[in-house]
Structure 1
C-alpha cells in the first residue's frame, strides 16, 4: 500500500509542478490569438 500511495503522491506533486510552469493566462492569450487569426483568414477567403 505504501508503494501505491507513494506513487500517487509523486504523481500529484509532479502534476502541480507542471501546472505551475504552464501559465494559464499565457495559454488563453495564445489560444485567443490563434482563433482570431483563423477567423480573419477565413473571412478574407
Structure 2
C-alpha cells in the first residue's frame, strides 16, 4: 500500500489536500519563472 500515510482516511485527505495546496503554487511560480522572458515587465502587450 503506497498511499496509506495514516490509518484514517480523513488524515489521508488532509495530507493530500495540504500537499496539493502547497505544491501547486510552487509549481506555477516555477513554470512562470521558466517560461517568462527576462524582459517581461518591459514588454507589456
TM-score (structure 1 length as normaliser): 0.45
Bigger helix share = 1
Structure ranking higher on relative contact order (CA contacts 8 Å, 6+ apart): 2
